[in-house]
Structure 1
Amino acid sequence: MTQAALAGIKVVDLSRVLAGPSATQCLADLGAEVIKIERPDSGDETREWAPPQFADGTSAYFATVNRNKQSLTVDISTPAGQDIIKKMVAEADVLVENYKVGGLKKYGLDYDSLKSLNPRLVYASLTGFGQTGPDARKPGYDYIIQGQSGLMSITGPEDGLPYKVGVAVVDLFAGLNLVIGIQAALLARTQTGLGQHVDVALLDSAIAMLANVGMNHLATGKVPPRLGNGHPSIVPYQVFATEGAQHLILACGNDKQFAAVCEVMGQDWIADERFATNPQRVKNRAELVPLMQAEFMRRERDEWLGLFDAASVPCGPINNIAEAVAMPQTQARAMVVELAKKDTTMRVLGSPVKLSGTPVQYLSAPPDLGQDTVSVLTSLGYTQEQIEQLQQQHIV
């Protein structure tokens, strides 16, 4: 088997739910050894976020971000539990946590305490608002951050309610930022010999996600409007309904493409000075879009898609989830992977990272709660008698 990109990197994963575990799953996919620390009584709360579930009882939510990991149950509120974590940290490369700011200090598991134990440790914290600032100690939730950050203000119908994105996109984006920070810190360590504290916040990630729309505000001082499926700077670049109550996306990015649209649709809009250039189309979208929508209702979606594809105009259907995962392209890119789990199999969403020399590896399905407790403790030097005593005391 080809050696993985992060082979030899040991990660202590004190995170739970989505954002943190999404980061540690990415590290695990790339070959890091990730040991997930869970509460002995119930574990990660997403284990109970069901239905839906797989055949073996694993919740679909938990399975989303916990493959390729080991599960060790530890009560970190006890001195014996804290000793276990410290023994792991002494030989670890990375610790990931998403507790409230200062939440681990009372257990002696904060960055300042652990860096003295292992100066090479990369300590990665993912919180709602970061380690500094007036809101640092507030809890963070994806939905609320989508609202606070302005993301919801630009999502949804022009005249309707603001909408959240259909998945916890801020959590996932923050998880990716955490991975970037961890890998950068590991690379820096090769030069300095020292680890550092990686501080990633949901709010910071969401603000960065505003991208060109946020920059539009900084450039003009104006508050960007909510445009539904429209684009603030390009027209036509939106969803259109077609005959048969189906929909397509037309992404016309320049004047040459718009001329091709006009030819396909048998219209001379490009000759109209109101629509001849993209800035004019943006200015006069309220006049152009209804004209286009009326024409789109004359044919079915797939017929339009075929015509636009032939004319090299960017376009596509709006698939449901079943259609999306069944696409030949999705399958060809191994974006649905089958993992063995007990006496059955589990289909999971694959990794989008494709490396030619050190590819992502799918080694194990999401673990049962505490399934690796004995093996991990044994590797740390605990005897069978000591492990049994810890189990009797409900520390592990």
Structure 2
Amino acid sequence: MPATRLRHHCRVTENADSATVRQWEEALGAVLGAAAKRVDRAMDDGASVLAASAEHWPAVSRALLALTDRTLAGLWERGWRPADLARLVRRDLTPVHQALLVDLVAAQGRRHAPAALDRRWLEQLRELAAEVWWPADQEYLAGFAERHRLDRFALATAALELLALLARLPVIAPVGPVPGAAPVQHRAQLPVPGEPRMLSRIRALLAKAESTEFPQEAEALTGKAQQLMAQHSIDEALLAAGQAGPAGAGVPGAVRIGVENPYEGPKAMLLDAVAAANRCRVVWAKEFSFCTVIGFDSDLDAVELLYTSLLVQATAAMQQAGSRQHLDGASRTRAFRQSFLVSYAARIRERLTEATEQTTREAAAGRHLRPDGTAEQLVPDARLLPALAAREEAVDTTTDRMFPKLTSQRVRVSDGEGWAAGRAAADRAALHGRARVEGRRK
């Protein structure tokens, strides 16, 4: 094709795609602007227009990817991350919407090289298995429809429903850099020699604690994992104290961890107990089913690892405790389990507090725990306690800056038997942590 004809063809295609993007925008605007009782009608009308022609379907496919590219870029700027969106879609919509979101995230991610994404962003993309599997954008919707056995109208409806959910999301506090905003450091801020070995050892201990059938063994394994976490945090603090200038001061970061029904209140309490033991703070956004954890990078890794393991152990213990009934035969299982988990979290908090304080005292006296679990005696470092205090103050300051208005929430305990069973289970799980439940905090 001659160059002049090629340029003309590109302009025609671009204009056609722009017109189709406007069709998507008009259909979405009608849905968002419709009265509650007319939303379904607006959805049907918009999907009918978009799906009316098989010949037009490739342009509809390209236009959807172009529109969601801008939509997702705007959400990243407003503080959202891929895992946050996936969590909400999983909670409020269907597996089809979830699969659609993952594909759209993968498509939007093509504009950024991996080096432009921070470590946790890359981890989220891997966990979602977000990848571009379609050969060309005009073939995406046809391929998706074939994979999920949908007709054009059903798929256009699902896409509009997803876009409507995304369009209603507000600005939230960011927990990391926007893709492409700045060069990304993929290692911890202040990497400690041997860190990969330490984290590998911690993961192995927690995996064994989750799989063992013997409570005493789970207690010993989880307790040892927490000791290693505490030692790693101390090593980080001392390394930071030896750095001059901004590198020595360090800057806390943040992650978001999903906390979903059922029993999201007690789960948030458990997360707060683990976070406080690892010198982090927690703010709960109940309406979005996540908690924001603020702390230094290695401490955030420890919180994610330990909370996930403890939740597995707590759920297994709760299910083993079985169901409960009132004397009249009515179920009281939910009240029992709610009280069980509240008590579990409270007792874990006590034990974690004790363990953290013990590890800190020993470190201040020069006792150092190696990644293999053995101890060595070093010369006491007078910088340790001031360094830990400075890091805790930095975390508090960052939390207050990110969330200047926090409220407290009470979690009700209505089943004494559940409370006693949860406390006993926490004794068997054995850990350590100190805290108060913050913010939506708890």
Structure with more contact order per residue of length (Cα contacts < 8 Å, sep ≥ 6) = 1
Per the normalisation by structure 2, the TM-score is 0.23
Query: TM-score, length-normalised on structure 1?
Result: 0.25
Considering fraction of residues, name the structure with more strand. 1
Structure richer in helix, relative to its length = 2
